[in-house]
Amino acid sequence: MDKNKEKIQAEWLQKAELLTETLPFMKRYANKVIVVKFGGNAMGKKEYVASFAEDIVLLQQVGMLPIVVHGGGPQIGEMLAKLKIETEFIDGLRVTDSATIDVVEMVLCGVTNKSIVTAISNAGAKAVGISGKDGKLITAKRLLNIDQHTDSNVEKAIDLGFVGVPEKIDPQVINALISEKMIPVIAPVGIGIDGLTYNINADTAAGAISAAMKASRMIMLTDVAGVLDKDGNLIPELTINESLELINSKVVIGGMIPKLKTCIEAVEGGAEAAVIMDGRISHSLLLELFTEHGVGTIIRKNHN
Region of poorest pLDDT, from 14-23, 37-46, 185-194, 288-297: 14-23
CATH for 253: 3.40.1160.10
Q: Is 230 found in the same domain as 180?
A: no
**For residue 12, pLDDT beyond 70:** no
What is the rounded CA–CA span in Å between residue 175 and residue 62? 19
Q: Is 177 found in the same domain as 277?
A: no
Q: Is 196 found in the same domain as 245?
A: no
Q: What is the DSSP string of 48-92?
A: HHHHHHHHHHHHHHTT-EEEEEE--HHHHHHHHHHTT----EETT
For 260, the enclosing helix (H) or strand (E) is helix 256-269
Q: Is 250 found in the same domain as 204?
A: no
Cβ(171)–Cβ(87) below 8 Å: no
In our burial notation (b when 16+ CB lie closer than 10 A, e otherwise), range 172-189 reads ebbeebbeeebbbbbbbb
Q: Is 205 found in the same domain as 227?
A: no
Q: Is 141 found in the same domain as 56?
A: yes
What is the rounded CA–CA span in Å between residue 231 and residue 211? 32
Between 197 and 89, the higher pLDDT residue: 197
If you average pLDDT over residues 188-194, what whole number do you get?
A: 94
Supply the pTM of this predicted model. 0.88
Burial of 100 (0-12, 13-18, 19+ CB in 10 A): buried
The whole-angstrom distance between residue 81's C-alpha and the CA centroid of its chain comes to 26
Of 225, 231, 256, nearest in space to 243 by CA: 256
The reply to whether 267 falls in a domain is yes
DSSP state of 43: G
Q: Is 41 found in the same domain as 149?
A: yes
The reply to whether 22 falls in a domain is no
Domain containing residue 298:
216-304
Q: Is 230 found in the same domain as 250?
A: yes
pLDDT in tens, 81-101: 999 988 877 766 777 888 889
Between 121 and 39, the higher pLDDT residue: 121
